[in-house]
Every structure is written in C-alpha cells, then in structure tokens.
C-alpha cells in the first residue's frame, strides 16, 4: 500500500513553521510497514489543495492530509475534501456537542466559528480520538484516476478502472495529530494493507562521536546486517540530542521482534561503549537524574554561557519522570517506554534530585559566588579567585553550585563566549565544564561515594547559540561519565 502525506499551511511554505509533522508521520509509517512515496506542502489555497489531493489520489492508495481543520476562514481542508469527494458538508451534532463541552469545561463561551469544525463531508467517519476542537476524519473514496470520485450509489464511467482509496484528515497541532495517528490511522492502514508482521524499534542515543565516525565504528556489523536483512540499522543526526542509532526488527509478533532487537543491542553496545547515554525517548537529563537518584545524590548547577539551559532541561525532565511520562535509566532489553513502566527504574517519588540552579550572567554575581567562602570554593586556595573563563573558574563555580544549593553534586559551565574575550590560547568557542562531588558514606542499599572534582576544557563549533546548547549537553555528559566511574 502506497501512502502519501499532504501538509497544509501557508506558514510552512514561508518558513514560519518547520514541518516536523510530516517527518514524524513518515517515520511512523515506515515503522508500521507502510510505504510512503511522496510528501507535499501546500498553502491555504482552495485550488492548490484540491489539485494536490487529486494528484495524490491518482497515484497513492492512501493520503494523510495534515492541517487546515481550524475554525477560521483560511481553514478549508474540510471544504476541499467535500469537493473532491463530490459530497455535501453536514453538521455532525456529536462533534458539535464535544466542542461545546470543551469550551464549557474551561468556563469560556464558544465562538460560533468553532461550529465550522463540526461540519463534515457525508460518507466520512470521525476519528474517535479528539484531544482538541478539531476532529479528524476517515474518508473512503471510490476513485477513477484522471476523472475523480464516484459518489456513493453512482455508477462509474463505462470501462473506467475504479480504485478503493482512503483519505485521513488530521489536525496540524502535533500532539493532536500524533494521538490520532497512533490511535486510529496507523492501525487502519495496516489492516487495509494486510500487514501481519510486527515491526518494533529501539533507539540507542549516543554522544561524543560524529555520524560518519559511528558509521566507521559499525561498518563491519552494518555489512553483516545488510546481508541478513533483519534487523536493520539507521543513523539519525539530532543536533544537541546526539546521534541516534535505530535498530528496527520485523517479527511474527512483538515478542519475536524484541528478541531480535535485544540480540542486536547486545552486539552493538560493546562496540559503542560509553557513547551510548540513553535509549528510545530517554534524554541525557533523564539518564543523569536516574543515576543521581540511584546513588542517593542531589544536584545543583551554576551557569554562565548556558543561561539556564541546564536548569530548564533538568527541571523539565525531573517533572516528566515524577509524572511517569519519562522513565530514565533504561536497561538492556527494556521493550520501550510504555512496556517498561513499573520495571527496574529509579523511584523519584521522594525528595527532588535536582536541587536548583544559579545563572551568573553579571560579573558581580559571578565574583560573589567565587569569593563567598573562597577557601571552600576556589581550587587556588584562600583569597585567590580564578578567572571565570578557565578550568579553575569552572571548578570553583561547580563547588559554589554544590554549596549554595546544599546539593551533594555541583555542575558548572563557563566559556569564552565572544570574540572580545578570546585569546590565542582560548579562542571563541572554548568551553570549561566542571563537576564537584561531595563524599557520601554508604547507607542502606546506596553505595558510598568518594569526593571528586573534575574540570574539562573543550572546543565547540558554531555561533553563540550553538556554543551554549552544546556546552550544556557536554557538561551533563561529563557528569554522566563521572557518575558511571568512566572519568
């Protein structure tokens, strides 16, 4: 079964919004065993959406149209679909009541414009999942290539080839679209395509090596897998989230697919070593927080160049882990996030692991942090305060972060963040990362932790924003390796 994606929205063509929806849908279709040959972006123009949909129905068995389902005048996907189907738009009272209830639950009056979202072409079926006001639709169509739809009950032109097509219309809001794809669309496509095999995947998230470097490290294994055909490997460069190595396996059922994935993961991990920091939807932050929790440690951060990025990532990750929407600490063989719930993962229901952070953008605040209690803070000794942009300065900041937040671990980042501060020895893009870990005796099942201080100097590419982003993730990675005893 050939499937096509049409993303609707002038903002996509103008570059005001990046079309991440189509890339995500393409990935999910591949994992579901459904071929996807075309992706199209089209603006909010009736004739162009109409032409795009007709072309897609001429060449593809199924079409997913994403966007254009809002309540305003430029949201015209419903009207175009009705025209292509040669059907009438009618009010679906059940959808209308659902929209009214959503507004009532927020104590807000419903604008009459929102009832446009309850208008659906005859012959379509609403998608049961409707997290927002925009309903999704499933539209089976009897289609004659080059001619158009054959209305229900009508006879096709003499001698015409009539094909069974289906159009899925989903909102452009990402979380609404994803709920409908996962809840209805992918399963319906598999049923129509007769896909009986189960396809599963696991992502090994890595940091510290380029995509080409990983490909070289795994070249021999990739050749072996290419010859075998199942499972398969794919690389995905993901910016500050690192390089993802995805293992995809097909089996008669989910258990068989996961057995293949586990076996391949057991081969890859010794080859990749410390580069692997997390799995699937886990992040560097969830991996670090999980290990801190396991060791009974708390974390405070001090930031300059990163401007609160580390604190934001850590606090968001910890909130997700405590809410159960992210786990952290995935183990070899865990069959994905949903199935792993309740498994061998850290208990974060107690006191928070992330104590807090300090963003020292002003020189006065940075100097105060380095001077206050300098005998404990400065690695140079009493009353000797190191330059902020140096390994000694970063180390002092890490100690200050630990002491000022009353945490057991301090993490700090500083950098040469402009050309005016650059020198031949420390050019722009030089980042200084530091960790300070207080000694902790063993208690209960929690092992003893030795006092350790560590600082690194690294060179990072790009402009200031990239320097800040990469400094944050590099500092978290340093802490991860130290907690694992690898640094």
Average confidence score pLDDT of the chain: 89
The token pair that represents 334 in the structure block: 């865990």
Q: How confident is the model at residue 444 (pLDDT cuts 50, 70, 90)?
A: confident
Res 325: pLDDT: 67
> Cα separation of 294 and 278, whole Å?
16
| pLDDT exceeds 70 at position 384 | no
Res 334: pLDDT: 43
Task: List Cβ neighbours of 47 (8 Å cut-off, separation of 6 or more).
Answer: none
> Cα separation of 164 and 152, whole Å?
12
Which tens digit of pLDDT belongs to each residue from 103-155?
Answer: 999 899 999 999 999 999 999 999 999 999 999 999 999 999 999 999 877 88
Q: What are φ and ψ of residue 251, in 5° steps?
A: -145, 170
Which tens digit of pLDDT belongs to each residue from 255-267?
Answer: 999 999 999 999 9
Res 336: pLDDT: 39
What percent of the chain is helix, strand and coil (3-state, nearest 5)?
40, 25, 35
| pLDDT exceeds 90 at position 382 | no
Q: How confident is the model at residue 240 (pLDDT cuts 50, 70, 90)?
A: confident
Q: How confident is the model at residue 281 (pLDDT cuts 50, 70, 90)?
A: confident
| pLDDT exceeds 50 at position 389 | yes
Please, where are the H alpha helices in 408-463? Answer: none
Which tens digit of pLDDT belongs to each residue from 163-206?
Answer: 999 999 999 999 999 999 999 999 999 999 998 888 889 999 99
User: pTM for the complete prediction?
Assistant: 0.75
| pLDDT exceeds 80 at position 406 | yes
Calculate ∠ Cα 74-76-81, nearest 5°: 170
Q: How confident is the model at residue 326 (pLDDT cuts 50, 70, 90)?
A: low
Q: How confident is the model at residue 332 (pLDDT cuts 50, 70, 90)?
A: very low
% of the chain surpassing 70 pLDDT: 91
| Residue 224: Cβ within 10 Å count | 11
> Cα separation of 176 and 272, whole Å?
36
Task: List Cβ neighbours of 105 (8 Å cut-off, separation of 6 or more).
Answer: none
Q: Is 214 helix (H, G, I), strand (E, B) or coil?
A: helix
């Amino acid at each position: 079964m050939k499937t096509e994606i049409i993303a609707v929205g002038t903002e996509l063509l103008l570059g005001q919004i990046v079309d991440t929806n189509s890339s995500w849908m393409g990935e999910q279709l591949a994992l579901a065993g459904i071929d996807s040959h075309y992706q199209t972006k089209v603006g909010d123009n009736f004739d162009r959406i109409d032409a795009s949909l007709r072309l897609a129905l001429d060449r593809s068995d199924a079409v997913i149209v994403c966007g254009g389902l809002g309540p305003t005048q430029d949201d015209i996907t419903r009207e175009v679909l009705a025209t292509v189907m040669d059907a009438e738009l009618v009010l679906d009272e059940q959808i209308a009541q659902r929209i009214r209830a959503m507004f009532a639950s927020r104590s807000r009056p419903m604008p009459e414009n929102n009832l446009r979202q309850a208008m659906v072409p005859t012959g379509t079926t609403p998608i049961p999942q409707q997290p927002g006001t925009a309903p999704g639709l499933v539209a089976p169509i009897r289609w004659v290539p080059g001619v158009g739809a054959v209305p229900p009950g009508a006879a096709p032109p003499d001698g015409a080839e009539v094909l069974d097509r289906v159009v899925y219309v989903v909102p452009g809001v990402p979380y609404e679209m994803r709920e409908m794809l996962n809840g209805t669309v992918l399963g319906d496509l598999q049923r129509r395509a007769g896909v009986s095999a189960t396809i599963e995947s696991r992502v090994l998230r890595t940091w510290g090596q380029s995509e080409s470097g990983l490909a070289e490290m795994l070249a021999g294994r990739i050749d072996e897998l290419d010859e075998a055909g199942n499972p398969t490997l794919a690389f995905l460069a993901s910016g500050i989230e690192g390089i993802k190595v995805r293992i995809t396996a097909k089996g008669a059922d989910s258990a068989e697919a996961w057995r293949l994935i586990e076996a391949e993961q057991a081969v890859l991990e010794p080859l990749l070593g410390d580069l692997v920091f997390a799995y699937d939807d886990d992040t560097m932050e969830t991996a670090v927080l999980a290990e801190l929790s396991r060791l009974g440690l708390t974390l405070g951060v001090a930031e300059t160049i990163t401007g609160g990025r580390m604190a934001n990532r850590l606090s968001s990750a910890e909130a997700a882990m405590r809410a159960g929407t992210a786990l952290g600490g995935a183990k070899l063989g865990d069959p994905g996030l949903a199935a792993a719930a309740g498994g061998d993962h850290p208990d974060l229901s107690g006191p928070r692991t992330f104590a807090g952070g300090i963003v020292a953008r002003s020189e006065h605040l940075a100097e105060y942090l380095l001077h206050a209690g300098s005998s404990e803070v400065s690695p140079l000794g009493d009353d000797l305060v190191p330059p902020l942009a140096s390994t000694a300065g970063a180390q002092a900041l890490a100690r200050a972060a630990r002491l000022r937040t009353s945490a057991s671990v301090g993490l700090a980042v500083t950098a040469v963040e402009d050309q005016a501060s650059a020198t031949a020895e420390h050019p722009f893009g030089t980042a200084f990362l530091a960790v300070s870990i207080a000694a902790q005796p063993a208690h209960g099942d929690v092992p003893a932790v030795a006092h350790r201080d560590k600082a690194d100097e690294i060179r990072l590419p790009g402009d200031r924003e990239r320097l800040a982003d990469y400094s944050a993730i590099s500092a978290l990675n340093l802490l991860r390796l130290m907690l694992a005893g690898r640094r």
